[in-house]
Amino acid sequence: MTDLTSLTLAEARKGLAAKTFTSLELTDAHLNAIEAARVLNAFVMETPDRARDMAKAVDEKIAKGDAGPLAGIPLGIKDLFATKGVRTTACSKILGNFVPTYESTITSQLWRDGAVMLGKLNNDEFAMGSANETSCFGPVGNPWRRDGSNTTLVPGGSSGGSASAVAALLCMGATATDTGGSIRQPAAFTATVGIKPTYGRCSRWGIVAFASSLDQAGPIARSTRDAAILLRSMAGHDPKDTTSVDMPVPDYEAAIGKSVKGIRIGIPKEYRLDGMPAEIEKLWSEGAAWLKAAGAELVEVSLPHTKYALPAYYIVAPAEASSNLARYDGVRFGLREQGRNINELYENTRAEGFGAEVKRRVMIGTYVLSAGYYDAYYLRAQKVRTLIKKDFEDCFAKGVDAILTPATPSAAFGIGEKGGADPVEMYLNDIFTVTVNMAGLPGIAVPAGKDAQGLPLGLQLIGRPFDEETLFSLGEVIEQAAGRFTPAKWW
């Protein structure tokens, strides 16, 4: 029954409702696919017994006609989400075999709605990375390869496991998180759909924190519709996260197929980078043309502070991270490397437990917050952030409904190809996505085409705060025009 894995979530939901197959069958099909795809290293923890138990339980509910909106749908969970009784590591050695006694708000909402957990997905250590190469469990393979090449490429990051697993049809959808592009960039690298909702739309409770003012969870899915279905279950106000917003969650799926006639799409001139590959340019123009053909109106807009976004992001995010990661000290949970006194215990534990990229960011963050540097770095970066936010507000105030940009400056690259000598080379991957986090806006990445080597490329749509619905409507237009992309199976 392996063909069950090729269904979209929406199609599977229909099949389950019609009792064409059971959740257990659907779940088993995916568990088999996971087993066969271990070379991708997308899952860091498979939970087949739990998956089958959950599937059986939900099958009984479906039989009784008491099924939630995600009843029987097998999902993968990024290892940043705390799952009760299931090891949660953020793919860092420092968490060791940490098993939470609590379930994150988002995953508990997914289980409430009937979803089935297949296991925990690989990611960059503490979500710090753009290629899923910093995980303590090793890199993740992208199911996509260049035409005629055997080189394994990165799936992007930090939600590389989520993107790879969804693209390789190992799960029907996955949870992911996005601090500077960690949902949208891997989605673009794997021809999947990923949405980072508005900051505050989803609860952060129970998600291992990277940079609290930027972190936001969202789904990676096989289609725009699937993403809409998943986000509805994930979103919502949570009294345990005071930054989450108390607004009703719309039926996002209703936005799929809705006319985009008259919607004003901004094309920001500052995103036209020097030396941008011609095929990215072409993709961007094509996307704009599809939207126009569907009735949307195109306007050139200016986001003048765009060029400061990346440097400001790499001050704000590490600053928050340096403080958020202070709790990993070897005292209460996770790894402990003994020392002769408490300072040695801290030093040994953190030296052994954190990988190189995490250490780099903790050091940058500590530096920019330290006495004498705070004003020059952290405070100034926050001012830049305010300006970036204002750029978007000005744009929306002029009647622009959404902004279309490329999702990434390039297609997927090979493992170990980038950032080896200069970490900034890797950071540049986030150039189109970080502004959205800095402004707290929703952003969706949808597959829009392929480059000359057959690798998928994505476009990004940025929306007004809490207007994810418009992004789903527009994303669907691009998806309909560009078609869906599935990698040739090589694993």
Partner 1 sequence: MSTATHKLLKGSTGDWEMVIGLEVHAQVTSNAKLFSGASTAFGGEPNTHVSLVDAAMPGMLPVINEECVRQAVRTGLGLNAQINLRSVFDRKNYFYPDSPQGYQISQYKSPIVGEGEVVVELDGGKTATIGIERLHLEQDAGKLLHDQSPTMSYVDLNRCGVALMEIVSKPDIRDAEQAKAYVTKLRSILRYLGTCDGDMEKGSLRADVNVSVRKPGAPLGTRCEIKNMNSITFIGQAIEYEARRQIEILEEGGAIDQETRLYDPNKGETRSMRSKEEAHDYRYFPDPDLLPLEFSQSFVDELKAGLPELPDQKKTRFVADLGLSAYDAGVLVAERESAVFYETVLEKLANRARDGKVAANWVINELFGRLNKEGRDITDSPVDAAQLSGIIDLIGEGTISGKIAKDLFEIVWQEGGDPRALVESRGMKQVTDLSAIEKVVDDIIAANPDKAAQVKDKPQSLGWFVGQVMKASGGKANPQSVNELLKSKLGI
Catalytic residues: 158, 182
Stretch that binds partner 1, among 87-95, 251-259, 432-440, 466-474 (CB under 8 A): 87-95
CB closer to partner 1 out of 204 and 225: 204
Q: Is 85 in the site for partner 1 (CB under 8 A)?
A: no
Closest to 435 measured CA to CA, from 401, 460, 456, 457: 460
Site for partner 1 in 142-171 (CB under 8 A): none
Choose the binding region for partner 1 from 315-323, 352-360, 390-398, 416-424 (rule: CB under 8 A).
315-323
104 binds partner 1 (CB under 8 A): yes
Residue 325 or residue 407: which is nearer to partner 1 going by CB? 325
Sign of dihedral through CA atoms 247, 251, 257, 261? negative
Examine residue 404 and tell whether it contacts partner 1 (CB under 8 A).
no
Quick one: which H or E segment has residue 445? strand 443-450
Beta carbon nearer to partner 1, 90 or 303: 90
483 Cβ neighbours under 8 A, 6+ residues apart: none
- By beta-carbon proximity to partner 1, the closer residue of 39 and 351 is 351
CA distance 458 to 191: 7
Token pair listed for 178 = 């996005």
- The answer to whether 416 and 133 have CB atoms below 8 angstroms apart is yes
Helix 356-369 with 309-324: angle, nearest 10 deg: 100
- Residue selected from 207, 294, 312, 315 as contacting partner 1 according to rule CB under 8 A: 207
Q: Rounded to the nearest whole angstrom, what is the least distance from the CB of residue 50 to partner 1 in the complex? A: 20
Taking residues 338 to 377 in sequence order and writing x for each that binds partner 1 by CB under 8 A, - otherwise, the string is ----xx--x-------------------x--xxx--x---
Token pair for 18: 């019609």
Min dist. Cβ of residue 305 to partner 1 (A): 21
User: Which of 52, 84, 212, 417 touches partner 1 (CB under 8 A)?
Assistant: 212
Answer for which of 189, 205, 290, 354 binds partner 1 (CB under 8 A) is 205
Which member of 326, 356, 363, 452 binds partner 1 (CB under 8 A)?
326
Q: State which of positions 233-272 bind partner 1 (CB under 8 A).
A: 239-243
- Structure letter (DSSP) for residue 93: G
Nearer to partner 1, 244 or 460 (CB): 244
According to CB under 8 A, which one of 33, 42, 217, 319 is a site residue for partner 1? 319
- Chosen residue from 90, 315, 402, 428 binding partner 1 by CB under 8 A: 90
CB of 198 to partner 1, least distance (A): 15
Under the criterion CB under 8 A, does residue 381 sit at the interface with partner 1?
Answer: no
Rounded CA-CA distance 110/78 in Å is 13
What is the DSSP-derived secondary structure letter of residue 475?
H
Binders of partner 1: how many residues, by CB under 8 A?
44
127: alpha, beta or left? (left if phi > 0; alpha if psi -120 to 50):
left
For residue 112, how many other CB atoms are within 10 A of its CB? 12
* SS3 label, residue 113: coil
Residue 269's identity, in one-letter code, is: K
Nearer to partner 1, 178 or 329 (CB): 329
Supply 92's token pair.
Answer: 């860092």
Here the tokens at position 321 are 């991270």
What is d(CA 219, CA 262) in angstroms, rounded to the nearest whole number? Answer: 28
Residue 97 CB, nearest approach to partner 1 (Å): 13
* Gap between the Cα atoms of 118 and 113, Å rounded: 15
Compose the 410-449 pattern: x for residues touching partner 1 by CB under 8 A, - for all others: ----------------------------------------
Q: Tell me if 180 sits within 8 A of 437, measured CB to CB.
A: yes
466 contributes a contact to partner 1 by CB under 8 A: no
d(CA 4, CA 9): 10
> Could you check whether the bond before residue 223 is cis, i.e. omega within 30 degrees of 0?
no
Residue 270: CB minimum distance to partner 1, A: 27
333 binds partner 1 (CB under 8 A): yes
Position 102 contacts partner 1 (CB under 8 A) = yes
Task: Determine the residue type at 138.
Answer: G
Question: Given candidates 113, 133, 178, 320, which one binds partner 1 under the rule CB under 8 A?
Answer: 320
Strand locations in 38-188 (E): 43-46, 74-78, 116-121, 173-178
Q: Give me the amino acid identity at 249.
A: V
Report, in Å, the least distance between residue 369 CB and partner 1: 4
Nearest 5 degrees, angle CA 227-CA 229-CA 230? 65
Stretch binding partner 1 (CB under 8 A), from 92-100, 142-150, 216-224, 454-462: 92-100
Beta strands per DSSP E along 36-115: 43-46, 74-78
CB 252, min distance to partner 1, A:
25
Identify the three-state secondary structure at position 207. Answer: strand
CB of 334 within 8 A of CB of 96? yes
Nearest distance from residue 314's CB to partner 1, in Å?
16
Could you list the residues that contact partner 1 (CB under 8 A)?
A: 81-82, 88, 90, 95, 98, 100-102, 104, 204-209, 211-213, 239-243, 319-320, 322-323, 325-327, 329, 331-333, 342-343, 346, 366, 369-371, 374, 378
